[in-house]
Amino acid sequence: MHIDWWTLALQTVNALVLIWLLARYLFRPVAKIVAARQQVAAALMADAMNAKAAALAERNKAADEAARVAQQRGDVLAAASAEAAALKTSLESAAHADADRLRSAAQVDIASERQAAATADTERASRLAIDIASKLIGRLPQETRVAGFIEGLAGELAKLPDVTRAELAQDGAMLRLIAPRAMKDDELAACRAALARVLGRDLPLTITVDPTLLAGLELEAPHAIVRNSFRSDLAYLQSELLAHDTDHA
């Protein structure tokens, strides 16, 4: 086989020139284009990654905001429920308090009405008893209505404090002796003697007739009153009856 070295050399040179031309005018620009495309692609990828990260961050932010809103909504609902429960409890308490107050007021009114009725019954019974006693006393002899109470009046006078008895009839003041009828001379003398025996001195007396005494005597001075009469006894009895009924109502 015959090899033409010149032809081979020329082909080699042509190949080298072609490679140099391709490398200079094709491969380098293409490499630059590819590199630029890679940079652009890398930039696009970076932008995409940044956009993706921003989207994820925005989504997470939206999720957090939604969770916060849901939490606030739950808090508002819980607060509203608690406020409604508290209002319900307050209204129920107020209703119970009003009911208790009305019940207490009704009980007080009922008790007051019962007390008033009992007092009225007692007063009627007391008046009836006093009327009966007055009628019975009215049947007593006239003499017993005065003479029988002289010593009792002297006894009541003796119960006064010493200072009060010493002040009786000072400065010449007249004492009023009250009787249910006009006193006879012997009755008046007996009364003066009984009073003088207690006080150790005579008293200036003025006589007053008051039939409402029924029976008995009363002595009135500026600083003291001595009672020994059916009128005072009946008044005391009436007050005791009223007090007894009030205590047991």
Query: Does residue 247 register a pLDDT over 60?
Result: no
Which pTM does this prediction carry?
0.48
What is the tens place of the pLDDT at every residue in 111-132? 777 777 766 766 676 667 667 7
Lowest mean pLDDT among 65-74, 144-153, 222-231: 65-74
Instruction: Tell me the chain's radius of gyration from C-alpha atoms.
Output: 64
Distances (CA, A) of 182 to 8, 67, 161, 206: 190, 110, 30, 12
Tell me whether residue 65 is exposed, middle or buried, using C-beta atoms within 10 angstroms of its C-beta: 0 to 12, 13 to 18, 19 or more: exposed
Confidence label for 133 from pLDDT (cuts 50, 70 and 90): low
Q: Nearest Cα to 177, choosing from 210, 140, 138?
A: 210
Q: Summarize pLDDT for 26-84 with one digit per residue, the tens.
A: 667 766 777 777 777 777 777 778 877 777 777 788 777 777 777 877 777 777 778 77
Q: Rounded mean pLDDT of the chain?
A: 78
User: Quick one: pLDDT at residue 60?
Assistant: 80
Specify the amino acid at residue 3: I
Q: What average pLDDT does range 181-204 have in this prediction?
A: 90
**94 pLDDT tier (thresholds 50, 70, 90):** confident
Q: Which residues pair with 175 in a beta bridge?
A: 205
Query: What is the C-alpha to C-alpha distance for residues 205 and 195, in angstroms, rounded to an integer?
Result: 11
* CA dist., res. 225 & res. 219, Å (int): 6
pLDDT > 90 fraction of the chain, expressed in percent and rounded? 14
User: Which of the residue ranges 82-96, 144-158, 167-181 has the most confident prediction, judged by mean pLDDT?
Assistant: 144-158
Joined tokens for residue 11: 């082909």
Residue 196 has pLDDT above 80, yes or no: yes
Q: Which residue has the higher pLDDT, 223 or 170?
A: 223
Contacts of 204 (CB under 8 A, 6+ apart): 169, 172, 173, 174, 175
Distance CA 212, CA 145 (A): 12
